[in-house]
Amino acid sequence: MAFHCPQCKVMLATRRLKHCSTCGAALPAEWLLSEAELEALRQEDRKLEKRRKARQKQRERDAEARRHAGWGGVRGNTVWGVNRFLG
């Protein structure tokens, strides 16, 4: 179900807003989400953020692995370096 600002008729992408993001008009109270619904959305956001960060970390690890793989000529030093790095 789409929501449109009563003032400027712009379509609102989210019901989390208390005011229209385009014209700033106050939105009808019955559109607003309850605190429980907002909390559910916040938790969903946190989950997505966590997943996004995990993916980012994985990408960094992959890039790191590729860098090490590229050091083929100094493999002995690389292993020593990695062990040092891992503590």
CB of 3 to Zn ion, least distance (A): 11
Q: Which is nearer to Zn ion, 23 or 54 (CB)?
A: 23
Q: Which of residues 19-38 bind Zn ion (CB under 5 A)?
A: 20, 22-23, 25
Cα gap 3→12, rounded to integer Å: 5
Q: Are 11 and 2 in contact (CB under 8 A)?
A: yes
Q: Residue 47: CB partners within 8 Å, gap ≥ 6? A: none
Q: Please answer whether residues 54 and 46 qualify as being in contact, where contact means their C-beta atoms are separated by less than 8 angstroms.
A: no
Nearer Cβ to Zn ion (24/81): 24
| Encoded tokens for 55 | 């993916």
8 A C-beta contact, residue 23 and residue 10: yes
| In the complex, minimum distance from the CB of residue 17 to Zn ion, in angstroms, rounded to a whole number | 10
| Among residues 4, 8, 57, 75, the one that binds Zn ion under rule CB under 5 A | 8
Q: Which of 7, 15, 27, 78 binds Zn ion (CB under 5 A)?
A: 7
Residues near Zn ion (CB under 5 A): 5, 7-8, 20, 22-23, 25
